[in-house]
Amino acid sequence: MTRHKPGFLPIVATVVWLAAVWLAAVPHVAQASGIKLSQVCPAGFELVQGQCKLRSLYQMYPSLEDAGVGGLKTGLPAYRDGFSPQQIDLGRYLFFDPVLSGDGSVSCASCHQPDRGFADGRGRSVGASGHPVRRSAPSLWNVAFQQRLFWDARAGSLEEQMLGPLYDEHEMATSPEQLLAALNGIPQYRELFRQAWPADYQSADANIRLDHVYQAIAAFQTSLISLNSRYDHYAHGYADALTEPEKEGLNVFRSFVARCAECHTPPLFTNQQIAVIGTPEPEGMPFDPGASEPLGEPTLRGGFKVPSLRNIELTAPYMHSGRFATLREAAAFYTGGRGHAVPEGEDLKIHWHIWEPGLTDAELDRLVDFLATLTDESFKPREPTELPSGMRPVHNGGAREGAVPQDGALTHE
């Protein structure tokens, strides 16, 4: 994690400068045969001694402790950066490449689609087996800030997290041996790993290492930064960035009645804690015990990690279960009464901030107006047009067209 003191170049200057460096690098790309990894950092990062360092206006503000809950100018939580441009770019290829899956049908991008806020539009994701998995795919925007991963917080790092999808029979269904064999069998990938870690791949027969595969994918994911929404312009002092109804929505969101900001705390719109709020499962689905199992903490039964609400407009349906089709439904859940959706026989320790706010229809509408101001895809990465494996990047629930419903928004088979 890096903390930067105030006084860095304004972000605009950095972007202009990055563009200049990028242009300078282009002829180089064109000359090389095959794929050449980027030598410049993604937008929002500055290259410092070979490492891409995050640059954001939020780095000028004091930490949350000094600013209170819901303050506009609050600092960022800890985050990961410091990967090289080449490592990030290699991760981008791996993220989109279905060669990572056992049968070549699924990539990370199948369930984390750039055009769907890096989620997949489904109530429950579908992977290599064609069977829906247990939960809904979360957005990957701003995952660099997440201290724990998965809805139930069972993973402590991005590298640990990805072992889940890679080796799960219902997701990418590969094995470490198969994954390494597949990548090592592709000369282009051997060359790209050499570009990303020159010192480790000096000898021509050096094999691709698993820890480098994980690190590259993690590097790419930490580059998915979304901190430049209209809300952010407003937070940085541009009062006209929000309309009156949106400002009203922000005030409801921060109010002691609705209490949304107590858990969905700016600037990330999550306090990263686990909260038991008692959302319902889809019809016919068993109760999801959430974080109590992996954390061995019975009071967290039904508890889930408070999700960030950034780009939330793009990632319907909502909650771990994908139970709510719209933001309006998700917001209305909070005014349905404490514990109203808890199944009979379950005695959940519902969080004390979940109460009976009695929000009016108009207030719910304003909340939805406000949540839509958190959309920012300006740093959306480019999808590779060709992959080192020669395969096609996969979206929309995998390559098994026909086997999988494509309109999966409310598929809870």
Strand intervals (E) in 35-181: 45-48, 51-54
Q: Are strands 303-305 and 274-276 parallel, antiparallel or unpaired?
A: antiparallel
Q: Which of 45, 93, 151, 201 binds ligand HEC (CB under 6 A)?
A: 151
Phi, psi of 113 (to 5 degrees): -90, 125
Q: Is 143 in the site for ligand HEC (CB under 6 A)?
A: yes
CB-based burial of residue 380 (10 Å sphere; 0-12 exposed, 13-18 middle, 19+ buried)?
Answer: middle
**Binding letters toward ligand HEC, positions 164-183, x by CB under 6 A:** -xx----xx-----------
Cβ 119 to ligand HEC shortest distance, Å: 8
Nearest-angstrom CA–CA distance, 293 and 83: 33
Q: Are strands 51-54 and 274-276 parallel, antiparallel or unpaired?
A: unpaired
Taking the least distance from each CB to ligand HEC, the nearer of 14 and 107 is 107
Taking the least distance from each CB to ligand HEC, the nearer of 54 and 137 is 137
Q: Is 219 in the site for ligand HEC (CB under 6 A)?
A: no
Binders of ligand HEC among 332-371, rule CB under 6 A? 334, 351, 353-354, 367
Query: What element of type H or E holds 275?
Result: strand 274-276
Among the listed ranges 182-190, 229-237, 256-264, 384-392, the one in contact with ligand HEC (CB under 6 A) is: 256-264
- For 242, half-sphere exposure in the C-beta direction (CA atoms, 13 angstrom radius) is 26
Q: Is 196 in the site for ligand HEC (CB under 6 A)?
A: no
Cβ 55 to ligand HEC shortest distance, Å: 23
- CA–centroid distance for 159 within its chain: 14
Cβ 22 to ligand HEC shortest distance, Å: 25
* 13: amino acid identity, one letter: A
Structure token digits, residue 294 = 């992996």
Q: Which of 112, 194, 254, 310 binds ligand HEC (CB under 6 A)?
A: 112
Taking the least distance from each CB to ligand HEC, the nearer of 95 and 201 is 95
Q: Which of 41, 277, 387, 404 binds ligand HEC (CB under 6 A)?
A: 277
Cβ 169 to ligand HEC shortest distance, Å: 11
Query: Under a CB-based contact definition with an 8 Å cutoff, are residues 314 and 119 in contact?
Result: yes
In sequence order, the 6+-apart residues with CB closer than 8 A to the CB of 53 are 2, 4, 41, 45, 46, 47, 81, 82
Name the packing angle between helices 361-371 and 244-254 (round to 10°): 100
Q: Are strands 51-54 and 45-48 parallel, antiparallel or unpaired?
A: antiparallel
Taking the least distance from each CB to ligand HEC, the nearer of 90 and 277 is 277
The closest alpha carbon to 376, from 118, 78, 55, belongs to 118
Q: Which of 150, 197, 201, 231 binds ligand HEC (CB under 6 A)?
A: 150
Binders of ligand HEC among 281-320, rule CB under 6 A? 304, 306-307, 309, 312, 315, 318-320
DSSP secondary-structure letter at 17? H
Binding footprint of ligand HEC on the chain (CB under 6 A)? 106, 108, 110-112, 125, 127, 133-138, 140, 143, 146, 149-152, 158, 161-162, 165-166, 171-172, 217, 221, 258-260, 262-264, 275, 277, 279, 304, 306-307, 309, 312, 315, 318-320, 327, 330-331, 334, 351, 353-354, 367
